Chains A and B, each alone.
Chain A
Amino acid sequence: MSRDAVLQKVRTALGRTPGEPIAEPPSVRLRIPSVDLETRIENMLRAVEALAGKTHRAASAEDARAYVGGVLGGRSAVASNAPFLRQCGIVDLPGVQSGFTDRLALRELCATADVGITSADYALSDTGSLVMLASPAEARLISLLPPVHIAVVPKERLLSGLDELFTILPRLAEQTSSMVLITGPSRTADIEQILVRGVHGPGEIHVVIL
């Protein structure tokens, strides 16, 4: 069996026996800087804009809703089942379909919708990243197939960065099959090193912080 053969070769190469205990790994290195909320918000907005993403700091749920409505401009959209979107009234905007639980139906819609609207589980303010965990509330394809992605995120979910993320999510793999960090619009420089946005993922992203 290949499994046994490979493991045996590994052990022989290392001079180890099955079940042999291991030395202590290097200690986990997580350094969480202390950054107040206001600074996190500023950092997040600045970082997203530096990546050619668009941002909006909403004063209220109505303000967030209005901004999203403005971006939609009558186009078709699919929104995730995130409770936060419902609370902001975003799923009620004209042209927005949501509440899908069927994989194929959702996929159909994502493939044809102009805009995908989600919330985010967290955001990393130093890199301008959205953290999306797959769940009944957030499907994977909504932030991936439509050419425009809008994320509406409550400010309390802003983290300082990766170190904080990996500190507060010690059992990440237990919670979800997929966590994605989204840092700016899809891009490539594969042809003559010239930057082109919107290759397979959305070429236009909006981050709304409420």
Chain B
Amino acid sequence: MAQRVSLFVTCIVDQLFPNVGLAMADILEHLGYELDFREDQTCCGQPAFNTGYRAEACRVARHFLKVFRDSEYVVVPSGSCTSMIAHHFHDLFADDAEALEEADSMAPRVWEFSKFLLEVARVDDVGARLDDVVTYHDSCHALREFGIQEGPRRLLANVRGLELREMDAAEECCGFGGTFSVKLPEISGGMVRTKIDSIVRTGAKTVVSADSSCLMQIQGALSRAGLPVRTMHLAEVLASR
């Protein structure tokens, strides 16, 4: 019997970068998983939590927990959303024993996509092919909260035709930071320009990352600067044939 995986595509992928969700689904199906996309899913609550609106974040978090209550695996194409669910739901429900228990029971069942591939599906080669020169941006939450660094590089190393060039300061924040990007736009803009200078120095044609919010920030800046470099989510690279 095939293992069942619930997709949590995240609101940003749902509305702005649907191909990322489709790519992730293709790969998981290809690996033999049975997928469900629960239509009641919306958001993990991170925007409210990061901006200091705990009550609002709680409401959205409760909704999430309700939607995915009985999922065995919830796979997410974003380190920041995964960290919100796996780490910060716990902080939200300090005063509510029942919700806290639900949150703590969800934490081990929610997986960032690349981590799921490597540690649950136990594959590092999904048979992908993409002729391109790319560079990889380490998203902060994936890197620092889950230690996701070697994993995506291993996955990329097995993509046929792909050359990976490391940028200096791959670990430096792209400057998105959720509402930070619009509350302190000048600083956010300065940070992303430093990031794209780093990208340009590699000569890569594509920037890859495992988080669509980083990619939105980076692509927005590349576009504004009139640079021909494109962005791709790790899932999209891995789904390329």
Q: Does A touch B (CB under 8 Å) in the complex?
A: no
